[in-house]
Amino acid sequence: MKYAIIIRYEFDPSWLRLTRDERGRREEAFQKDIVGPGVDKMSVRHFDAEAFSAAFSDFLLVETEDLQAYYYFIERLRDSDFVAQGWVRIKDISIGIQDGYKEYEHDLA
């Protein structure tokens, strides 16, 4: 089964106080150290939402068939400076199964 996970979060003003160059270096580290180890088992895409929502500023769309890979991704994120320095606060996580009802109907047959 393929899972889609939406992680809604907001950046703290302390993140915005970093220079754009420093934020760029941190983004590169995020891609390499947090996303990188699971890149063969999941995709992670970033969306900027602050112009469209007051509840969160950004969200990640994670797609995977391996929930363990996703779980390890979250552990790496929690261990990172993004969370430890308070730059990012996760607001909400939603998960769904792509065409889950079709899997169910197939298994019933």
Nearest partner of 73 among 49, 43, 47, judged by Cα = 43
pLDDT number for residue 82: 94
Question: Cα-flanking dihedrals φ and ψ of residue 102, to 5°?
Answer: -65, -40
Output 103 or 30, whichever has higher pLDDT.
Answer: 30
Q: Return the domain boundaries, the chain.
A: 3-108
Portion of the chain with pLDDT greater than 90, in percent: 90
| 67/64 Cα distance (integer angstroms) | 7
Q: Token digits for 9?
A: 């979060």
Asked whether residue 103 carries a pLDDT value surpassing 90, the answer given is no
- The pLDDT value recorded for residue 108 is 87
**CATH second-level architecture of 3-108?**
2-Layer Sandwich (3.30)
pLDDT attached to residue 94: 98
Global pTM value = 0.89
When the pLDDT of each residue in the chain is averaged and rounded to a whole number, the result is 95
CA–CA distance, 20 with 18 (Å, rounded to integer):
6
